[in-house]
Amino acid sequence: QSVLTQPPSTSGTPGQRVTISCSGGISNIGSNTVNWYQQFPGTAPKLLLFNNNERPSGVPDRFSGSKSGTSASLVISGLQSDDEAEYHCAAWDDSLNGQVFGGGTKLSVL
Amino acid sequence: QLQLQDSGPGLVRPSETLSLTCTVSGGSISSSSYYWGWIRQPPGKGLEWIGSIYYSGSPYYNASLKSRVTISVDTSRSQFSLRLSSVTAADTAIYFCAREVIGATEGVYYFDYWGQGALVTVSS
């Protein structure tokens, strides 16, 4: 059972805008910043967004994030077929004194 | 370009100790801006943070695993290691090592570089 809650799966068509939610609590998302990771099958996660909405070098601006209260969202605009992957949210948890993750959301591009 | 390479046995017997090592290249493990962490992912499941360590040797662990986990660092070899004792089938997972950024702003923590992962199966 993951500390952060994500929908197990979602889907979209090329060009569409897709939103993936991540729900937590006061001690994690409510108090700290949210990060998002993209993971393709058989590979390591890759940092997609950090500090709620900052993109590492090389990540397209089609990927954006937001946070409100104890929830966060990842938005993918102009969906492309190679965006098909699993997306994980994460944050520091002040009560657990460590990093916590969501269960991951598998994005299918139809 | 920073690279992390995790290595260790792929099969561990139940009740024994799992040991993995992560070798850091292309950058210094002794940088003051980072911790070095272990994260695992059971087959078909989400990610779970195991613990992290500073280059000077100050580890902190996931409370749910703390009684069984030891993370250590060897700066002379640019390596950090994970030991997980008394393993069961529930510990079967891909184990990733990663660099943990401690941001200048409070509350900013994230993993920016990851190893390729090592599948560890617990089975007799």
Model confidence over B11-26: pLDDT tens digits? 999 999 999 999 999 9
Question: Smallest Cβ distance to A47: which of B37, B61, B112?
Answer: B112
Q: Give the percent of chain B with pLDDT over 90.
A: 86
* Averaged pLDDT of chain B: 94
Q: Which pLDDT score, from 0 to 100, does residue B106 have? A: 75
At A28 the pLDDT is 96
Select the residue of A33, A56, A100 nearest B112 (Cβ to Cβ).
A56
pLDDT of residue B97 exceeding 80, the answer is yes
Nearest CA in chain A to B118: A44
In chain B, residues with a C-beta closer than 8 Å to the C-beta of A51 are 103, 105, 108, 110
pLDDT of residue B57: 87
Name the burial class of residue A87, with classes exposed (0-12), middle (13-18) and buried (19+) by CB atoms within 10 angstroms of its CB.
buried
Coil/strand/helix, residue B75: helix
φ, ψ for residue A80, nearest 5 deg: -120, 160
Position B39 scores a pLDDT of: 98
**Rg, C-alpha atoms of chain B:** 14
pLDDT at B61: 96
Q: Is residue B13 classed as helix, strand or coil in its secondary structure?
A: coil
Average pLDDT, stretch A77-102?
Answer: 96
Banded model confidence at residue A49, pLDDT cuts 50, 70, 90: very high
Q: What pLDDT shows up at residue B8? A: 86
Given a cut of 80, is residue B104 above it in pLDDT?
no
pLDDT of A14 over the 90 cut: yes
What long-range pairs does B104-109 form, CB within 8 A, spacing at least 24?
Answer: B105/A33, B105/A51, B107/A31, B107/A32, B107/A33, B107/A92, B108/A32, B108/A33, B108/A50, B108/A51, B109/A32, B109/A33, B109/A35, B109/A92, B109/A99
Contacts of B45 in chain A (CB under 8 A): 103-104
Tell me if A99 and B109 make a contact (CB, 8 A cut-off).
Answer: yes
Question: Is B52 within 8 Å of B96 (Cβ atoms)?
Answer: no
Q: Best of B2, B95, B110, B113 to disrupt the A interface by mutation (most A CBs within 10 Å)? A: B110
CB contact under 8 Å between A104 and B46, yes or no, is yes
> From chain A, which residues contact B within 8 Å (Cβ)?
2, 31-33, 35, 37, 43-47, 50-51, 56, 88, 90, 92, 96-104
Nearest to B59 by CA among B91, B35, B85: B35
Instruction: Return the exposure string of B29-53: e unless at least 16 CB atoms fall within 10 Å of the residue's CB, then b.
Output: beeeebbbbbbbbeeeebbbbbbbb
pLDDT tens readout for residues B27-55: 999 988 899 999 999 999 999 999 999 99
Chain B hits for A33, CB-CB cut-off 8 Å, are: 103, 105, 107-109
Please say if the pLDDT value at position B107 is more than 90.
no
Q: Which residue of B has its CA nearest to A56?
A: B112
Which residues in A lie closer than 8 A to residue B114 (C-beta atoms)? Answer: 44-46
Q: Using 50, 70 and 90 to split pLDDT, how confident is the model at B76?
A: very high
- Using the predicted structure, report yes or no on whether residue B103 has a pLDDT greater than 90: no
Residues in chain A with CB shorter than 8 Å from the CB of B47 are 37, 45, 88, 90, 101, 104
